[in-house]
Structure formats: structure tokens, C-alpha cells
Structure 1
Amino acid sequence: MLIDAHQHFWDPARADYPWMDAPELTPIRRAFGPADLAPLLKANGIDASILVQCRSALEETEELLRVAHDTPSVMGVVGWADLTDAALGDTLDRLRALPGGAKLVGIRHQVHDEADPDWLLRADVQRGLAAVFARDLAYDFLVRTRELPAAIATAKAFPHARFVLDHAAKPPIAVGGSAEWSDRIASLAACGNVWCKVSGLATEAKWTDWDAERLFPFVQHVANSFGEDRLIFGSDWPVCLLAGSYGEIKAALEACLAKLDASVRDKAFGMNAKRAYRLAIV
């Protein structure tokens, strides 16, 4: 089974997405749903996907679970819940009891939008993470280079938990990368409980001037750091449309992974996502 471990659905006419206000995001400021994604999955040989939150609202998580309940190809949902809420455990239990709740596989927060680079290390956030892991859910790190030290400390604080790094921490590809990103990625990878999504890379490059060759050094670095058993493919659709079509994004990442080794590619497109999120598939 081939899995796209990172895609979104949204409708700006029904809810507010503050991050979508930038003028350059106009092309994706419209509704995207299962009917839009289905033909793309079929055309690209993808069997299933993981649906990921994109606004800080329980209402969205509830809606994503309903969508997952009605959409067989959605194998898992990474939702949002307030990590600082002392009653988070009760909230997670309620979410899991909803239609589609069995597909809740992880929680995510837009950490890179927090003013405090050490937000993850706050006592209330760490308490919330403990509630997430007590329910055998994964936690997705949505961070950039600035927040990686806090992510490293958090992964070390919960050695038996499962973490997934989204978009390889958004490397500064457009400016040629940075030693700081490279070093911190290697340090995070040294925590054996963290997987890394090879996703969202084209939109960190220059949108009109990128190709697989330019992405490859960054893919190679995360592959060398995390190893073939902890790399996961994600399209980041429809955000990826800012830089290329679903097919172009998938082909570029597949080419990068295959250049490393066929087994790296094969595991990243299925087995590793199943393990990281404990998906109920055979």
C-alpha cells in the first residue's frame, strides 16, 4: 500500500485560516476536499492518505474525523487539540468516541508560529504531550530551524513516545540551506523515536525555479540522518500546488528517494508511515 502521509482539506468560505491571508497564497485560497484529491491519488498510484490539521480549532479536528469516517482512502487524521488545556485527556477521549475517531492517529500544533521558540518546553505543553502519549497517539512537530532545539529536548523527554517531524523542519532551500538546520536535524535524528516527513520541500525552494536535483541534497541529509526506516513521504497537497502539481511533487520526491536506494523509496511510501502512526492496515 502506497501512502501519502501529509495532505489537507479546507474551505476558507466556512472557516478562518489566518496563515492563508498572504497575497501569494491566493491560488490555494479556495475549497479543497476528497473529491478533488481522489483522482490525483488514483493517477499517481497512491492508495491512502493521512489528513492533517491546518488551523487551531477543535471544530476542524471534529470535521476532519467526520471526513475520514466517510472517506475510505483517509487512513488517519493528525488533528489539533489544545496542549495547554488541563482537560486535554478528556478532550482526546471525546474525539476518539466520535464517528471517525478511531482514525485519530496524532496531534499537531503550529509551533513555528509561536513567539516563544521554547514553547514546546512549557510545563503545560509538556503535560499536554503526556496526555497525548498516554493515549498512544503520535505528535507531529511543525517547526523550523529556530524551534528544533526545543523539539530535540522534547523528544528526549519522552523517549518512548512517537514523534513525526513535518516537512523536514522546512529547510531554507531557497537560499541554499544552512549549517544550523543541518546540524540540528542530525541532533533530532539521533533521538530514535522521531520520524521525518519528506514533504513540503518544493514550497521551501523558489516556487518557479526548482527541480529534484535541487531538492536532493536536503533529502539526502535527512536520509543520512534518520535512516531508511524513519523517512516518510508526504505531498503537502494542496499547499504544494504553489510550486507544482501533485504529480510533479510526487515524481520529484520519488526520484530523490530512489537515487538513494530502492528500499529507501519503498519504505518511505508506505511501511514507515504505518509504523509511525500505527495505522490499522495490513
Structure 2
Amino acid sequence: MAIDAHQHFWDPARADYPWMEGPELTPIRRAFGPADLAPLLKANGIDASIVVQCRSSLEETEEFLAVAHATPSVIGVIGWADLTDAALGGTLDRLHGLPGGAKLVGIRHQVHDEADADWLLRADVQRGLAAVFARDLTYDLLVRTRELRAAIATAKAFPQGRFVLDHAAKPPIADGGSAEWSDRIASLAACDNVWCKVSGLATEAKWTDWDAERLFPFVQHVANCFGEDRLIFGSDWPVCLLAGSYGDIKSALEACLAKLGPQAREKTFGVNAKRAYRLAVG
């Protein structure tokens, strides 16, 4: 089974998305739903997807579970829940009991938008992560280089937990990369309970001037650090449309993986996602 482990649905007419500001985001400031994604999955040979939270909203998480319940191709939901809430455990149990609740596979928060680079290390956040892992859910790390030190400490603090790093921590591709990003990625990858999504890379490059060759050094670095058993494909659709089509994104990653060995593609496009998210699929 080929899996896209990172895609989104949203409708700016129905809800606010604080990150969706600025004229450069006009092309994606419209509704995107399952009917828009379905033909793209079929055309690109992808069997199923995981929908990922877009805003800090329990209502959105509930909506995504309902979508997953009604959409067989959506095999997982990475939702949002308040990690700082002392009653988080009860909230997660309630979500699990909703229609589609069995497809809740992970929790995520926009950590890179927090003013505090060490937000993940707050006592109330760590308490919330303990509740997430107690329910066998995965935690998606949405961080940039600035927050990677806290992410490393957190992964070490919960060796029994499963973490997935989104978008390879958004390397500064447009600026040519950075040694700080490279070094911290290596340190995080030393934690064997962390997987890495090779997703969202094209939108970290110059949107109108990128190709697989320019992405390859970054894909190669995370592959060297995490190994082929901990890389996961995510389209980051529809955010990716800012830089290229769904097919462009998938083809570029395939071109990069082709240089990394015969099994890299198969594992990255399905096997590893099933393991990281404990997906009950064939």
C-alpha cells in the first residue's frame, strides 16, 4: 500500500487559519476536501492518506475524524488537542469514541509558532505528551531548527513514545542550508524512536526555481541520519501547490530516493508510515 502520510483539508470560508496570511498564499486560500484529493491520489498511484491538523482546534479534529469515517482512503488522522490541558487524557478518550475515532493515530501542535523555543519542555506539555503516548498515539513534531534542541530533549525524555518529524524540520533550502540544521537533525535521528517525513521540502526552496537535484542534498542528509527504515513520504498537499503539483512533488522525491538504494522508495512510500503510526492496513 502506497501512503501519503501528510496532507490537509481546509475551508477558509468556515474557519480562521492564522498562518494563511499574505498575498503569496492566495493560490491555496480556498476550500480543499476529499473530492479534490481523490483524483490526485489515483493519478499518482497512492492508495491512502493521513490527514493532518491545520489549526489549534478540537472542532477541526472532530471534523477530520468524521471525514475519515466517511472516506475509506483516509486511513489516519493527526489531530490537535491541547497538550497543556490537565484533562487531555479524557479528551483523547472521547475523541477515540467518536465515529472515525479509531483512525486517530497522532497529535500535532504548531510548535514553531510558539514564542518560546523550549515550549516542548514545559512541564504541562510534557504531562500532555505522556497522555498521548499512554494511548499509543504518535506525536508529530512541527519544528524548525530553532526548536530542534527541545525536540531532541523531548524524544530522549520519552523513549517509549513514537515521534514523527514533519518536513525534516523545514531546512532553509532557499538559503542553501545550514550547519546548525544539519547537526541538530543528526542529533535527533540518534533517537531511534523518531521518524522523519520527507515532505514540504519544495516550499522551503525557491517556489519558482527548484528541482529534485536541488532537494537531493537535504533528502540525502536525512536519509544518512535516519536510515531508510525511518523516512516517510508526505505530499503536504495542498500547501505544496505553492511550489508544484502533487505529481511534481512525488516525482521529485522518487528521483531522490532512486539514488539511495532499491528499497528506499518502498519503505518511504508506505512501510515506514505503517510502523510509525501503527496503521491497521494491508
User: Above 0.5 in TM-score?
Assistant: yes
Find the counterpart in structure 1 of residue 5 from structure 2. 5
TM-score by length of 1: 1.00
Q: How does 1:181-196 map to 2 (within 5 A)?
A: 181-196=181-196
Q: Work out the CA distance in 2 between the residues paired with 1:18 and 1:197.
A: 24
TM-score by length of 2: 1.00
Q: Work out the CA distance in 1 between the residues paired with 2:60 and 2:22.
A: 21
Which secondary structure does the structure 2 equivalent of 1:99 belong to? coil
Find the counterpart in structure 2 of residue 89 from structure 1. 89
Matched, 1:77 2:77: yes
TM-superposed deviation, 1:261: 1.2
Per-residue Cα deviation, 1:156-203 (whole angstroms, up to 9, x for no partner): 000011000000000000000000000000000000000000000000
Q: Work out the CA distance in 2 between the residues paired with 1:56 and 1:41.
A: 27
Find the counterpart in structure 1 of residue 56 from structure 2. 56
Find the counterpart in structure 1 of residue 161 from structure 2. 161
Find the counterpart in structure 1 of residue 204 from structure 2. 204
TM-superposed deviation, 1:17: 0.3
Q: Work out the CA distance in 2 between the residues paired with 1:67 and 1:8.
A: 12
**Paired amino acid for 1:120:** L
Which secondary structure does the structure 2 equivalent of 1:21 belong to? coil
Unaligned stretches of 5+ residues in structure 1: none
Q: Work out the CA distance in 1 between the residues paired with 2:102 and 2:41.
A: 23
Moved more, 259-268 or 6-15: 259-268
Q: Work out the CA distance in 2 between the residues paired with 1:204 and 1:22.
A: 16
Identity among equivalent pairs (%): 88
TM-superposed deviation, 1:23: 1.5
How many residue pairs get aligned? The number is 282
**Paired amino acid for 1:9:** F
**Stretches (4+) displaced over 4 A:** none
**Paired amino acid for 1:128:** G
Q: Work out the CA distance in 1 between the residues paired with 2:107 and 2:73.
A: 20
Q: How does 1:1-282 map to 2 (within 5 A)?
A: 1-282=1-282
Unaligned stretches of 5+ residues in structure 2: none
Moved more, 147-156 or 19-28: 19-28
Q: Work out the CA distance in 2 between the residues paired with 1:86 and 1:16.
A: 26
TM-superposed deviation, 1:21: 1.3
Per-residue Cα deviation, 1:21-70 (whole angstroms, up to 9, x for no partner): 12110100000000000000000000000000010000000000000000
